[in-house]
Amino acid sequence: MKVVIIGGVAGGMSAATRLRRLNEDAEIIILEKGPYVSFANCGLPYYVAGEIEERSKLLVQTPESLKARFNLDVRPNSEAVSINAETKEVTVKAEAEEYNLSYDKLILSPGASPLIPPINGLDEAENIFALRSVPDVDAISEFIEKKHPKSAVVIGAGFIGLEMAESLAHRGMDVTIVEKAPHVLPTLDEEMAAYITKELKDNGVKVYTELAAFSFENNGKTIILENGEELNSDLTLLSVGVKPNTSVAETAGIETGIRGGIIVDERYETSQKDIYAVGDAVVVKQQINQQDAMISLASPANRQGRQVSDVISGISRQNKGSIGTAIVRVFDQVAASTGLNEFQLRQAGELFDVVHIQGKSHAGYYPNAGTILLKLIFNPQTGKLYGAQAVGTDGIDKRIDILATAIKAEMTVKDLPELEFTYAPPFGSAKDPVNMAGYAALNILEGISESIQWHELEEKQQAGHVLLDVRSESELKANGRMKNAVHIPLDSLRDRLSELPEKQPLIVSCHSGLRSYVAERILKQHGYDVKNLDGAFALYSMVKPERIEN
């Protein structure tokens, strides 16, 4: 069997090495357009920052090491320019040479390229870069060493954009972020992304949202925004997304779908027989709602590469899709998400509810416990888990990984309180935030608690709802007061019920939502119409600081 693989890195190299482990006699040829077939592209921003000091650490394998260990024929700087599906041949361009290469099975792993928007003046600029490969990071590093830029603009505030903003700030530059979406990190919902925006600003990064670059002037050193404002930039990074590399697939007449991605079936086979595809270039099913999606992440690509080799080797494997689990560090804050966010669920017309839980990364009485804000999104009728998001300084990866596993296992909110975790004060809490999110969601599911979200409060108040704040007087003095709120500390509530209107609905809040839930239960059992402000003061003050009074 002769297998040709177009593209290396995560999907292609996982396919090649798995295929060799299963087929010692197979002829396996890897065509890589660039000079490096196996490198850690997720580590590139950290090399720019200097956290990864040695460039060689980015190069996972070389053609020589792959030949020695796996007997693979790796051909760098070899571009597949066309495919003839009828004759089963690939036309390859390698420097000045062009030749045809036959195959029995063909695996496409061409990846994706940075999306370069058509902005006026872009072609004339010499200080504008994208980051996707080792040559990209080499160009950026050389520019920094030679030009010593003092200012930088990052256009796009996704994962790579935020990582590079931090990296460039660590290199001593004044950094500005420009994002077309309403907030940074669009995979998160607005209130969760607000914590990352604050962290950026606290570290001196300027943030523009709901704006795009209109043009580049002065050889790229001046950026004109849509609103006419001008930004000075010695170095600009474009990080507005990626597009699948599907040009070679199109030469074979392979069917494509959303955003031009390659359509594959449950065995990773394309519309052309014996041609398979994996990685960032393929359309996947969002496993939660079975909608078509493009999910460009390393973990799914590695899994797909392994599974397609199993399929080719006669082992039954199913392409189940992905849920999209990702994490990013921004200075001292960490943000992670899995599954669907509120925007995606609204677009799909799904019924959902939300709970926000504040917890600690480990026992609060043990030193250096970090605060975790955990958001859980679920179906309020069935308890189906749709997604989760978390921000904080420590323990974010653990909680989102747990919830990603729960989603994959098709658990519901009813299962979350039953999960058992290792516990000792340095490592966790007896009541883990994941358990607590399950309890809170279960209370909603069973009608024990009712909540409203931060974005509903002002409208509810205008409609006649009374906001009751049950924090202590010392908290009010230290952190501020919510506009038009009645203040009765929780421990005095039972004795001061007469101060509350009996005929007006109430919304109760504390600092994080736990005491307000206790207050809600007290008031409900005294006949009041009451709802809990989910996330309470801590969340509301972060998203709506203008509505907090000192």
Residue whose token pair is 């006026």: 120
Collapse the DSSP code of 20 into the 3-class scheme (helix H, G, I; strand E, B; otherwise coil) and give the result: helix
The C-alpha atoms of residue 248 and residue 498 are separated, in whole angstroms, by: 75
Q: How many helices (H) and strands (E) does the chain have?
A: 15, 35
Pairing state between β 242-244 and 275-277:
unpaired
Please give the torsion angle defined by the CA atoms of residues 204, 207, 212 and 216, in that order, rounded to the nearest 10 degrees.
-20
Nearest to 469 by CA among 483, 453, 449: 483
**Close Cβ partners of 452 (under 8 Å, ≥ 6 residues apart):** 460, 507, 531, 532, 533, 534
**Helix spans in 23-72 (H):** 44-49, 63-70
Residues 414-444 as b/e (b if ≥16 CB within 10 A, e otherwise) read: eebbeeeeeeeeeebbeebbbbbbbbbbbbb
**d(C-alpha 172, C-alpha 149), whole Å:** 9
Measured CA to CA, the distance from residue 505 to residue 466 in angstroms comes to 6
Q: How far is CA 430 from the centre of its chain?
A: 28
From residue 92, alpha-carbon distances to 9, 101, 153, 235 in Å are 19, 7, 38, 36
In the beta sheet, which residues pair with residue 232?
222
| d(C-alpha 443, C-alpha 548), whole Å | 29
How far the first Cα of the chain sits from its last, in Å, is 74
Residue among 428, 349, 418, 346 at smallest CA distance from 394: 428
The separation between CA 498 and the C-alpha centre of its own chain, rounded to angstroms, equals 48
User: Quick check: is 510 catalytic?
Assistant: no
- Cβ neighbourhood burial of 238 (10 Å; 0-12, 13-18, 19+): buried
Rounded Cα gap, residues 460 and 106, in angstroms: 59
Tell whether the torsion through CA atoms of 181, 184, 186 and 188 is positive or negative.
negative
Q: Which residues on adjacent β-strands are paired with residue 155?
A: 178, 238
Of 42, 49, 101, 327, the active-site residue reads: 42
Q: How far is CA 77 from CA 102, 123, 275, 398, in A?
A: 18, 25, 22, 40
- Structure tokens that stand for 492 in this block: 């005095």
Q: How far apart are CA 154 and CA 163, in angstroms?
A: 10
Active-site amino acid positions: 42
